[in-house]
Amino acid sequence: MSAAARPLIVANWKMNGLSSSLTQIAHLLHGLRRTRGSADIVVCPPATLLSLMACALESSPVALGGQDCHAEESGAFTGEVAAEMLSDAGARYVIVGHSERRIRRAETDAVIAAKADAAVRAGLTPIVCIGESLDVRDRGRTLDVLTAQVLASCPPCLADKRFVVAYEPCWAIGANRTPTAEQIAEAHAAIHGALARRFGSGGRAVPVLYGGSVKGENAAGIFGIAKVAGVLVGRASLDAREFLRIVEAAAPVDPRLKAQPA
């Protein structure tokens, strides 16, 4: 991570959380008062909590995000959520192409590219997820697969738009294991190479996050890896105290504030 960069920390609550879980947001906002506020934070709750959370986050430094959107603007798509609906509910970001959707919902790169396009048309910042399976890594094809995923999931229309890529190896998600720092650095370098191929030199400025079993204990090491612009956090984002440990690893607590009670 370059010294000047503001890290981006994204909480992906997945299919977790009821209205009672908003107490975690209250704890998070309280805890954030102790940090220097030098990280950008996004919380992506399930769709049922978007409006409640938008109220809870109002006039706070934390942004709201959706976990997925449909590629169409509206229509007969029972159970789906359009990008404009997320924006209308107060979201500024949306995750697209999470591996849980790529694998379980058979979402292809083309579908994900269409969702990213829909997101920017609705004024949202898409967080495009990519990542290799364990089989791909074992066959030594990780960098080829990541390059192909970037080229196929990030459509040319993103060229002059703000978007984010999240590198999440499938085998590290919810698995209590992470790649080595060298593996993460190598993957991020390949991803930036592919982004530059698609978007020219501007591609090298696209923030690329790491995701997969990030927690308080390993966050500092991950933030220290070159070109890692932030993290996408699943399980550890459900508990405000653990999530704050990750935030503090990116933005050390101001010692003058540390004396204040949490």
Dist. CA 6–CA 142, nearest whole Å: 28
Of 48-56, 103-111, 116-124, 229-237, the window that binds ligand PGA (rule: CB under 6 A) is 229-237
Q: How far is the CB of 164 from ligand PGA (least distance, A)?
A: 13
Dist. CA 39–CA 32, nearest whole Å: 10
Taking CA atoms, 94 is separated from 13, 121, 125, in Å, by 13, 12, 6
Q: Catalytic one among 100, 107, 132, 168? A: 168
| Binding residue for ligand PGA, selected from 102, 125, 213, 228, defined by CB under 6 A | 213
Q: What is the dihedral of CA 159, 233, 248, 238, to 10 degrees?
A: 140
**Cα dihedral across residues 228, 105, 43, 205: positive or negative:** positive
Active site residue 30: no
Active site residue 188: no
Residue 235 in contact with ligand PGA, rule: CB under 6 A: yes
Site string for ligand PGA, 182-211 (x = CB under 6 A): -----------------------------x
Here the tokens at position 229 are 């612009």
Site string for ligand PGA, 144-183 (x = CB under 6 A): ------------------------x----xx---------
Here the tokens at position 39 are 């990280």
**DSSP β-bridge partners for residue 95:** 127
61 vs 174 by CB, closer to ligand PGA: 174
Residue 247 in contact with ligand PGA, rule: CB under 6 A: no
